[in-house]
Amino acid sequence: MKIYIDGKFHGERDAKVSVFDHGLLYGDGVFEGIRIYHGRVFKLKEHVERVFHSARAILLEIPMTPSELIQATIATCRANKLRDGYIRLVITRGIGSLGLNPRSCKKASVIIIADKIQLYPPEYYQRGLDLITVPTTRNLHNSVNPAIKSLNYLNNILAKIEANNAGVEEAIMLNAQGYVAECTGDNIFMVSKGALLTPPLAAGALYGITRGTVMELAEQAGIKVAEPNLTRYDFFCADECFITGSAAEIVPVVKIDGRVIGDGKPGPLTLKLTEQYHALTKVSGEPIN
């Protein structure tokens, strides 16, 4: 495997960062997860735009233009001869002192990893996931804003630990007002009376690239899409439910906190949107070669 670090490729064993990098010391940085399908990088421009927005929000200056970052990402895929896989794009604050002050970091570091990924076993896509609601609350907007896809993911990790302890793969996180925000690493949707509903960004949901793609596909198919505040009760009473993410894609949900969703099987709209999504990934994206 060839890993891109600050303009150079390194073998997996030689790819290293300094112990003084503030991304390691303090989680000071941003990242993106991006998919490769059929020799094309899916939604690459959108992911690069989002990482620049995240960086701007934390006053992190990326030492490349968006165009240069896109080309470096494609070059990394090409160096690893990937046609299908996953890209982890990481921007750290860079090397600095042991103090918190980001001014001690002279230049940000850019790391690009391209490899294979399988987030969930195939059977979960066929029969659906069980979810629980966890006690850990989604970050407040006036703390670490959920819109920032930062390297400081401890909030989500704590929620994932609670899911693991309960014997499930994924969990629902509520915001401070008690409304559903998102899952630990994915956005969440429900279907009610033929309409597709998902928590609004203001509730603490990440501006998911896959989330936006699914909403566009639904609207193109004439399905009503809305973003109201949603409670656990709303999801308990839903006809269908699924989660979305770049790594996860679209995964059906069949049970939440012990309550069976719909008939306990992946729903027809979920399956339809999954089919449309997979069809889109075959023809869309930035070509690697």
Q: Above 90 in pLDDT, residue 137?
A: yes
Count of Cβ atoms closer than 10 Å to residue 197 Cβ: 20
- Residue 211 confidence (pLDDT): 98
122-281: CATH architecture: Alpha-Beta Barrel (3.20)
Chain segment 230-251, per-residue pLDDT in tens? 999 999 999 999 999 999 999 9
Task: Domain 2-115: give its CATH code.
Answer: 3.30.470.10
Q: What pTM did the predictor assign?
A: 0.95
Q: Which of 128, 121, 168, 120 is nearest to 253 (CA)?
A: 128
The residues that bridge with 225 in the sheet, in sequence order, are: 196
Q: What is the pLDDT of residue 79?
A: 97
Query: Percent of the chain at pLDDT above 70?
Result: 100
User: What is the predicted pLDDT for the residue at 186?
Assistant: 97
Give the tokens for residue 88.
């982890």
Given a cut of 90, whether residue 9 has pLDDT beyond it is yes
Task: State pLDDT tens for residues 268-287.
Answer: 999 999 999 999 999 999 99
The answer, yes or no, to whether residue 289 has pLDDT greater than 90, is: no
pLDDT score recorded for residue 266:
97
Q: Could you give the CA distance from residue 76 to residue 79 in angstroms, rounded to a whole number?
A: 5
Q: Which two tokens stand for residue 86?
A: 């996953």
pLDDT reading at 118 higher than 90: no
Per-residue confidence band for 66, with pLDDT thresholds at 50, 70 and 90: very high
Tens digit of each residue's pLDDT (9 = 90 or more) over 146-167: 999 999 999 999 999 999 999 9
Distance, CA of 192 to CA of 289 (rounded, Å):
43
**Contact present, 253 and 129 (Cβ < 8 Å):** yes
Average pLDDT, the chain: 97
Q: Which pLDDT value is given to residue 35? A: 97
The domains of the chain are located at: 2-115, 122-281
Active-site residue list = 149
CA distance 127 to 143: 37
Lowest-pLDDT range, 115-119, 198-202, 282-286? Answer: 115-119
Count of other CB atoms within 10 angstroms of residue 98: 10
